[in-house]
Structure 1
Amino acid sequence: MSGILDTVNQRTQLVGQNRLELLTFRLMRKQRYGINVFKVKEVLQCPKLTLMPNLHPLVKGVAHIRGKTLSVIDMSLATGGLPIQDPENRFIIISEFNRSTQAFLVGSVERIVNMHWESILPPPGGTGKSTYLTAVTEIEGELVEILDVEKILNEISPVNEEVSEEILAQKAVFEEGGTAPNVVLVADDSSVARRQVKRAVETIGYEVLLAHDGRDALIKLQEMAKEGCIYDKLALVISDIEMPEMDGYTLTTEIKKDASLKNLHVVLHSSLSGVFNEAMVKRVGADAFIPKFDPDELSAAVINAVKGQEK
């Protein structure tokens, strides 16, 4: 296990182009799961947990780790399975999502696998809205499920999704006499993230075109460009980074090298805030990066991007 822990610490600093490294793990079932190493800060044997009053039912307890108190979420229970027994003999994956740090209790941790995003596929049809799957892949003939951690976290501690009156007032002042298009394309594989972004963007008066991953977004953009000048139809693109088939970095690269799309304003919007490499954003040509999820920050970025096009 020490080899895995050392490798996690080294590789969380890597940024790849349309590739990722999955840390695979199991819960209480035989099913194998994966989490992007970019989101992993550390893997530890589960320390002693402290029970506190009024904890969420999915929180096994709290742990004191490196001067911080972290909630330890039972990943099996959170995804509809049986609670994980004997936590002292299990492991926690400490991860950074959406500007906060959490610990996920898992049954066992296996190894890191280098993958291409083309090998990460959307969940099969028929999984339903209640699924916690955001993607699937195959490793050594075995199905590996990638969980929608944002959905799990939102159920435990919902984020504020309301745009402030101050931002709405900025939009009201700006929109007088505006001529820029009123549509924003949003690409994200998480159903929770799509809903959050859609609500924020619609609140400030823009229409939203949704894409489920980078490839879906690129196809939609290319089809729009074939029908006429895309800059007359689309205000900007907001894209997640981690997505099946094509990640946000590659989507941005493809947009910027396409003569009919290259001047589109692209905002990368990701929960990878803790290990994010700003040099990568500049290299692929994205116009901005915003860590998830602050409705005011996102809405202000949309307003400012459209302002720039009005000049």
Structure 2
Amino acid sequence: MTGILDSVNQRTQLVGQNRLELLTFRLNGRQRYGINVFKVKEVLQCPRLTAMPNLHRLVRGVAHIRGQTVSVIDMSLATGGRPTADIEKAFVVIAEFNRTIQAFLVSSVERIINMHWEAILPPPSGAGRSNYLTAVTNIDNELVEIIDVEKILAEIAPVNETMDESISQSFAEAEQDTDIVRRILIADDSTVARKQVQRAIESIGFECILTKDGKDAYEKLEEMAKEGSIYDQISLVISDIEMPEMDGYTLTAEIRRNSELKDLYVILHSSLSGVFNQAMVERVGANSFIAKFNPDELGNAVKTALIK
């Protein structure tokens, strides 16, 4: 038990230092890809897959793993490539995203690399909107692409983005009694996740300022603070945790250090899960943490922040 707790503590400290561990892998070709180790539960040789009727075209089959039936998503197919060849020699990466367990089929798994988020950069502007990347980095003089898993999952099983009408009604009623600044800043490196949050927030009558990562969000906040009190311009910040250049924990810590921003209400909103999230919420001074993506939980978190 002591060893497990030590491991959790070490990972808590790693995240708090704007660092991550990246599991690298390959699909059908020489290109290397990465996924945050925090989202990975285990890596296995691909088990026997069972075909089922009406499976999504990106799902190669289902497997029985650790007492669970898990869909196995072909990562190569999902990112626009050809189907993974020689499945018997392939691997599955078991991961937890957005409260569910998925298995991603990959050709080979390489190693875990400890990195700083500042070394993780947004995709090049010429990559286009249809790419499946949230970020890129350089390892051993080779470009490593970090895949937008949330975009893949949204294509396979789109999430509900509609909030319960009672939440919207609460804000309509509160508007008569209090002056709520109906503008929220959103920071998320996934275009799909960013749009999900935007649509949910706009459905309760708020305007959104969209930023693509923590660094972009912090620079925008500093720019706004020069124009006047930040509290007259936005009501709160909703931030992802995993983001290139500056993660959500570091963004929150920087907000708390800045005298012109320090009282902003910050909601951390992430596909990450686990006890280390709650520890970091307290450590960096975020007001709350909610897991992606439940529009009612998000709406209620905003309601808690703004309606007394």
Q: TM-score scaled to structure 1, two decimals?
A: 0.94
Aligned residues: 299
CA distance in 2, matches of 1:140, 1:175: 55
CA distance in 2, matches of 1:29, 1:186: 35
Amino acid corresponding to residue 241 of structure 1 in structure 2? I
The answer as to 2:231 corresponding to 1:231 is yes
Aligned positions of 1:206-217 closer than 5 A: 206-217=206-217
Shift of 1:299: 1.1
Partner of 1:204: 204
Partner of 1:123: 123
CA distance in 2, matches of 1:258, 1:164: 35
1:38–1:13: structure 2 CA closer, same or farther, 3 Å change rule? farther
The answer as to whether partners of 1:71 and 1:103 remain within 8 angstroms in 2 is yes
Q: What is the SS of the residue equivalent to 1:126?
A: helix
The equivalent position to 1:14 in structure 2, one of 11, 14, 31, is: 11
Moved over 4 A (4+): 10-13
Shift of 1:189: 0.3
- Residue by residue over 1:157-202, the C-alpha shift from the partner in whole angstroms, topping out at 9 and shown as x without a partner, is 0011111122222222222232121110000000001100000111
Amino acid corresponding to residue 165 of structure 1 in structure 2? E
Unaligned runs of 5+ in 2: 1-6
- Residue by residue over 1:91-139, the C-alpha shift from the partner in whole angstroms, topping out at 9 and shown as x without a partner, is 0000000010000000000000010000000000111111101000000
Partner of 2:3: none
1:260–1:305: structure 2 CA closer, same or farther, 3 Å change rule? same
CA distance in 2, matches of 1:168, 1:68: 37
The answer as to whether partners of 1:39 and 1:275 remain within 8 angstroms in 2 is no
Partner of 1:250: 250
- Residue by residue over 1:225-284, the C-alpha shift from the partner in whole angstroms, topping out at 9 and shown as x without a partner, is 111111111100000000000000000000001111000000000000246431111000
- Residue by residue over 1:67-108, the C-alpha shift from the partner in whole angstroms, topping out at 9 and shown as x without a partner, is 100000000000000100121211000000001000000000
Amino acid corresponding to residue 120 of structure 1 in structure 2? I
RMSD (Å) for aligned C-alpha atoms: 1.3
1:143–1:133: structure 2 CA closer, same or farther, 3 Å change rule? same
1:274–1:156: structure 2 CA closer, same or farther, 3 Å change rule? farther
Partner of 1:64: 64
CA distance in 1, matches of 2:89, 2:10: 28
CA distance in 2, matches of 1:144, 1:295: 33
The answer as to 2:271 corresponding to 1:271 is yes
The answer as to 2:143 corresponding to 1:143 is yes
Q: What is the SS of the residue equivalent to 2:307?
A: helix
Shift of 1:13: 7.5
Partner of 2:173: 173
The answer as to whether partners of 1:269 and 1:289 remain within 8 angstroms in 2 is yes
Among the aligned pairs, what percent are the same residue?
67
Unaligned runs of 5+ in 1: 1-9
Shift of 1:301: 1.0
The answer as to whether partners of 1:74 and 1:84 remain within 8 angstroms in 2 is yes
Q: What is the SS of the residue equivalent to 1:224?
A: helix
The answer as to 2:25 corresponding to 1:25 is yes
Q: What is the SS of the residue equivalent to 2:84?
A: coil
